[in-house]
Every structure is written in structure tokens, then in C-alpha cells.
Amino acid sequence: MTLDEEKKLANRLVQGVMDLEEAKGYVLELVDQQGSVSGILKQALWCAAIVVYSRPFSQAKSGGISAKLLDAEKLGLFADRPDLLQVHRFILDVRQKVVAHTDWEHHRSELNTSGQFGAGITRQIIQTDYTRSDLRSFYDLVHHAAERVTKLSVALDKKLLRQP
């Protein structure tokens, strides 16, 4: 990796640390409020946690100042935790197909012509409920990723400080 690429990665790692710490806050709020928060507030916290967690691992426009994204596998973030790599992939998939975009697989509708409401035609909306996902696994994922990205960021900054 060139010095310029290392500087860009260092910038993206710092952004990643900030995003993952913010995601941790949302997940901790979900854990703290478990059972007492429901409906739209629960969905909002899950949505925020998923979107913010996914930021470092999604394409970003930086004007060439930072790396476009953090590749968790290339960085070895989950090398010792393949279980969390699966959760990571699931969360990114939910972000892409359910939270940020209307993917037909998760936001489909069916034509309902049963006639129970007269001669009109209605549609039944079928939507994935990601708020029923395993909160403990998501918490472990965010905590682990934040810890690993922070360590990588500090190590790379120390290396860059030693550069002439």
C-alpha cells in the first residue's frame, strides 16, 4: 500500500470509529429499553443503528481524501469471529435491501381480489420485520467492529507519524 493509500485508509478508519461508536449508542439504547420501547420508536432505533453501522462498509464520496469504504474481510475485522462475519453480512444486506432501498424481495405486495371489500381491488403489503433480529448478536457485532477499527486506526496513525 502506498503512503497516499495509507493516509486515505487512516482517514476512513477515523470516520469508521465515529460511525461505529454512534451505532453502539443506538444499539445500547435498544438493549436498555428492551421490552419498554415498541412500534415506531423501536423501528427508528433499529433503522438508525443499521444505517450508521453500515456507513464505514459502504461506498462514500470523499473527494479523494479518504478510502471509499472499509472492506471488513480485507482488514481481517472478523478473522477470529466467523459468526460475527455472518451477522455483519446480514446487517449490510438488510441495510441495502430493506432499510435504505425498496427491494422487492423484502417490500413486495400481492393483488388481493377476494371481494371481501366489494368489487374493488386491494393490495396486501408484505414487509420484512428486521426489528425481530437477534439484538445480542447485533450488539456483539457493533462492539467487536468498533474495537477492531479503533485498534487499526491507532496503529495506522502511529505508523504514519513515524513517516519522514
What is the structure's pLDDT at 164?
Answer: 74
CA distance 1 to 153: 15
What is the structure's pLDDT at 103?
Answer: 52
What is the structure's pLDDT at 25?
Answer: 96
For residues 67-84, average pLDDT: 96
Question: Do residues 58 and 93 touch, judged by C-beta distance below 8 A?
Answer: no
Q: CA-CA distances (angstroms) from residue 145 to 69, 76, 139?
A: 14, 10, 10
AA identity, residue 66: S
CA distance 155 to 157: 6
Answer whether residue 72 shows pLDDT above 80: yes
Answer whether residue 117 shows pLDDT above 90: no
Question: Do residues 48 and 29 touch, judged by C-beta distance below 8 A?
Answer: no
Whose CA is closest to 149, among 52, 65, 90, 76? 76
**Burial class of residue 92 in the structure, from the number of CB atoms within 10 Å of its CB (0-12 exposed, 13-18 middle, 19+ buried):** middle
For residues 52-61, average pLDDT: 92
For residues 130-148, average pLDDT: 88
For residues 8-35, average pLDDT: 93
For residues 47-59, average pLDDT: 94
Phi and psi, residue 122, nearest 5°: -120, 165
* Number of separate helices (H) and strands (E) present in the chain: 5, 2
Q: Which helix (H) or strand (E) holds 28?
A: helix 3-32
Arithmetic mean of pLDDT over the chain: 84
Which band of pLDDT confidence, cut at 50, 70 and 90, is reported for residue 114?
Answer: low
What is the structure's pLDDT at 116?
Answer: 58
Whose CA is closest to 91, among 138, 42, 129? 138
What is the structure's pLDDT at 119?
Answer: 47
Is the entire prediction scored with pTM above 0.75? Answer: yes
Q: CA-CA distances (angstroms) from residue 159 to 48, 71, 145, 152, 164?
A: 33, 20, 21, 11, 11
Question: Do residues 65 and 79 touch, judged by C-beta distance below 8 A?
Answer: no
Answer whether residue 27 shows pLDDT above 60: yes
What percent of the chain is modeled with pLDDT above 70?
79
